[in-house]
Structure 1
Amino acid sequence: MPSDPRANPSQPSGVPAAGTVVTGEFDATKARKQSTLVLRRFFRHRLAVASLAVFTLIVLFGLLGPLFWTIPVDDTTSRGYLPPSPAHPLGTNQTGKDMLAQLIVGTRLSVQIALVVALGSTIVGVALGALAGYLRGFVDSAISRFTDLMLIIPQIAVAAILVRAFDGSWYTVAFILAAFAWMQTARITRGETLSLAQREFIEAARAAGARTRWIIFRHLVPNMVGTITVNTTLAVATAVLSEAALSFIGLGVQPPDTSLGLIINENYSQITSRPWLFWGPFVVIVLLSLAVNFIGDGLRDAFDPRQTKVRA
């Protein structure tokens, strides 16, 4: 039989020749993406995964609840202060409104406020912090002093005054809270930027003539995604508590809108005689805050390449 002219007698047995496409078992050694490694580390953090499930259930409760519980939130045809029953699982309030319908709407609006605050404060904080850390000089001094000034302002008091001056709708409360929630993110981002700005890939981008905007948003910010994600997550928990505090003292969300804090404000006097009116929204606030904090804890461990501990 004639030999294969492409055969190389000097090629060792079992070793592929140069230019040969390796298939089969060698395909299993693909390089892992960073996102894949982060997800694997996160899903090994059992408490964070359980908290993510709780947070998802709360969000679905607020979003999909009206599809299953059809009593209107403003319906007052029932008698006031009815105890829990199959018709009203959480009873009714003083005006006869169904408390389960109130809780569904309040949960949805509280989550909406928290997400808007977290997103808005993150965008502002990252932009200002990155500019300050990269440009330095006068820009850094101006942004840093403005950040320090905002930090010493009594935020809840000023936010309460501003909400009172406007209409008290949920989106007004969200934007006002976001205006006082970006400073911590800006400081953390500035510190990260000061460190990254000295790295070789930034120097190479400068030497290549890249513009400041391109360097900040295409090189610096993507390399801070772990820190930014964790801070955004924690900002959600802070926003939930801030909105609840404002609404509890009657200076947050105003009727006809409602929120978890406003429901507690309207029913806290019934904590001993009709505790179900108080404990429903209170438990949702606690679960939201704890779940988001544990999710942030899991994300911090997942983004840390030195983290090898598996949480129980």
Structure 2
Amino acid sequence: MTDTSITSPAVEGRSLGQLALLRFRRNKPAMGGCVILLLIALFSFVGPLFSSHSYDQVFSSYVSVPPSLKPFPDPASLQQVAEGAATRARLKLDSFTLESGVFTVKISSDKPIDPRTVRYFDRVNEFHDTRVAETSADQMSMTLTGRVTQEYFFFGTDSNGRDLMVRVMLGGQISIAVGLAASLVSLGIGVIYGATSGYLGGRVDNIMMRIVEILYSLPFVFLVVVMVVFFGRSILLMFLVIGAVQWLEMARIVRGQTLSLKRREFVGAAEALGLNDWQIIRRHIIPNTIGPVIVFVTVVVPQVILTESFLSFLGLGVQAPLASWGTLISDGAQNIQNTPWLLIFPAVFFVVTLFSLNFVGDGLRDALDPKDR
């Protein structure tokens, strides 16, 4: 008699983390936010590697030029540029020809021409590698040749002639770095402070929370102004000042979670095993507050970016020639009528980043919600 029983394959279970990741991946707005944040991060941190311009490079010939996909300069304007260079050198421009990106000019004067005159042509942004091709016997006339330098300004330039696209990349680096660094500072201080206060309870909890309330009562802008006066404006100061304020709300959230966790059975079991308070906080309390903390961090990052932009808008942020999205928006707001692109591009990146972070935060909140498990 044959055995007809069929053994069913073992079903592999999923952990709570895997289920949360699956719910998060099904959230299309959250995944779209992650993709957009990745693209913005690549644009900000990797983009400058592929740009031939630096954030502080000044193009005196291209001041406040609008965004364009076409290269600068316009070939029709090169003869006028050559005439200007010849006039500054106190010479006369006899002819100007352009062929395949190479220009040729003939200049003359009432007295012998110094070969160093070519420096006047290289000082403009349109010409490069100018050299003497031919000189007359009496040195009263000279033929110069060189290359026409083509520049691309996809986002236009600012009032100082700097490439706005590179400065938006730099602004993204600083704004994102300030947001992440200040959030990590608030995360490190707030989680430890809140977990310690909530677990110890009693008089210690009362004193620690009163300290938090006192710090809450201090005006934030006044604190920043005082620190800027004493220590000067710097990115490190921005990390410290913003992180020193944002951890207060983090501590209160973690304290509330700790008050409910310390009555759970696993905490009582840890106490029965002889673990001290710090070991229980480090091994059991803090790891079980990670879910709400992660969700709150996604809210803190856009708040920090907004705070940094607000301080930069007031002139208390990063120093020139560095720039953040806040300083770029501030400069663009002052010239919105004449050069609106100075406001549009950094504002678009700023708003899209904040929206994406909020979508990611909502997705994490839904994925880690215990009611959906």
TM-score scaled by length of structure 1: 0.88
Instruction: Indicate whether 1:59 and 2:124 are aligned.
Output: no
Structure 2 counterpart SS, 1:26: coil
Percent identity of the aligned residues? Answer: 36
State yes or no: 1:116 paired with 2:98.
Answer: no
CA distance in 1, matches of 2:336, 2:225: 25
Deviations 1:140-186 (A, max 9, x none): 01110011111122213322432343232222212211001111111
Q: CA deviation at 1:119?
A: 0.8
Contact 1:163/1:176, CA 8 A, preserved across alignment:
no
Structure 2 residue identity aligned to 1:159? V
Match of 1:200 in 2: 265
Structure 2 match to 1:19: none
Unaligned runs of 5+ in 2: 70-151
2:295 match: 230
Which residue number in structure 2 is paired with residue 243 of structure 1? 308
For the pair shown, the structure with the greater C-alpha radius of gyration is 2
Q: Does 1:142 align with 2:142?
A: no
Q: 1:231 Cα deviation (Å)?
A: 0.9
8 Å Cα contact 1:160/1:251 also seen in 2: yes
Q: Which residue of 1 aligns with 2:132?
A: none
Matched, 1:30 2:6: no
Give the drift of 1:75: 0.5
Instruction: Name the structure 2 match of 1:14.
Output: 5
Q: Provide the rounded CA distance (Å) in 1 between the counterparts of 2:372 and 2:221.
A: 36
Q: After TM superposition, list the pairs within 5 Å mapping 1:281-296 onto structure 2.
A: 281-296=346-361
More helix as a share of residues: 1
One-letter amino acid of the counterpart of residue 261, structure 1: G
- The whole-number CA distance in structure 1 between the counterparts of 2:52 and 2:372 is 47
Correspondent of 1:84 among 42, 55, 67: 67
TM-score with structure 2 setting the length: 0.74
What secondary structure does 1:173 align onto?
helix
Q: Structure 1 residues 221, 32: CA separation in 2 closer, same or farther (over 3 Å shift)? A: same
Structure 1 residues 164 and 88: CA distance shift in structure 2, 3 A: farther
Q: What residue number does 1:20 align with? A: none
Residue deviations 1:116-140 (CA, integer Å, cap 9, x gap): 0111101111101000000012220
The 5-angstrom pairing of residues 269-280 of structure 1 reads: 269-280=334-345
Match of 2:174, as an amino acid?
L
Query: Hey, what's the Cα distance between the residues in 1 that align with 2:321 and 2:282?
Result: 41
User: Quick check: 1:300 aligned with 2:283?
Assistant: no
User: Does residue 1:47 correspond to 2:29, yes or no?
Assistant: yes
RMSD: 1.8
Question: Residues 63 and 161 of structure 2 are in contact (CA less than 8 Å); yes or no, is this contact kept in structure 1?
Answer: yes
Does the Cα contact within 8 Å between 1:248 and 1:264 map onto a contact in 2? yes
Q: Which amino acid aligns with 2:280?
A: I
Is the CA contact 2:174–2:323 (under 8 Å) kept in the aligned structure 1?
yes
Q: Tell me which moved more, 156-165 or 44-53.
A: 156-165
Distance 2:357 2:228 in 1: 25
**Which ranges in structure 1 are unaligned for 5 or more consecutive residues?**
4-8, 17-24
| CA-CA distance at 1:15 after TM superposition | 7.3
**Cα distance in 2 between the residues matched to 1:191 and 1:207:** 24
One-letter amino acid matched to 1:298:
G
Q: Deviation above 3 Å: which 4+ runs of structure 1?
A: none
Larger mean Cα displacement after TM superposition, 93-102 or 157-166: 157-166
How far residue 13 of structure 1 moved from its aligned partner, in angstroms, is 5.8
Aligned position for 2:277: 212
Q: Secondary structure at the match of 2:44?
A: helix
More displaced, 273-282 or 161-170? 161-170
- Preserved CA contact (<8 Å) 1:244 1:260: yes
C-alpha distance in structure 1 between counterparts of 2:229 and 2:310, whole Å: 14
Q: Output one character per residue of 1:244-284: Cα deviation in whole Å (capped at 9) or x when no partner.
A: 00001111111232111111222311112211001111111
Q: Which amino acid aligns with 1:166?
A: F
